[in-house]
Amino acid sequence: MGRCELNLSDSLQCISLQNVECSSEWLYGLLITLSLLDHPVTCEMWDVVLQSTEQSNLDESHIPVSDLRSKLCSRDMSNIKILVVNGNMELFEILRETSIGILDLRSAE
């Protein structure tokens, strides 16, 4: 819930999200954090479900999604490979117009 404030290792090569329910704000934050790494990284998303806007707005530190989207789209994400298994339209809307290096879709709505 809320913003992603993970302190990821600088040597991180792969992160796997399996059966995760999160806000779009959190996922934007994670992707922005991954884009700050200076080397290739893989992000596996298995059955990631995004919460409705109403649920994610309960967090007091809410940042407008449009601001996060602009920030994500301005980041160089060419070092990021994303694997999506069982993705949905909300997830693909977040990934739209980004500079992701590789997007591997296994199954989607």
User: Distances from the Cα of 4 to the Cαs of 32, 102, 107, in angstroms?
Assistant: 9, 22, 26
Going by the DSSP 8-state scheme, the letter that residue 51 receives in this structure is: P
- What pLDDT does residue 53 have? 59
Q: ∠ CA 4-16-105 to the nearest 5 degrees?
A: 105
CA torsion angle 6 78 74 47 (round to 10): -50
Query: How many independent structural domains does the chain possess?
Result: 1
In a domain, 1, yes or no: no
- What pLDDT does residue 54 have? 53
Q: How far from the centroid of its chain's Cα atoms is residue 27's Cα?
A: 4
- What pLDDT does residue 56 have? 47
Domain span at 27: 14-108
In a domain, 2, yes or no: no
- Tens-digit pLDDT string for the chain (109 aa): 445 567 888 899 999 999 999 999 999 999 999 999 989 999 999 999 998 755 445 554 567 888 999 999 999 999 999 999 998 888 989 999 999 999 998 876 6
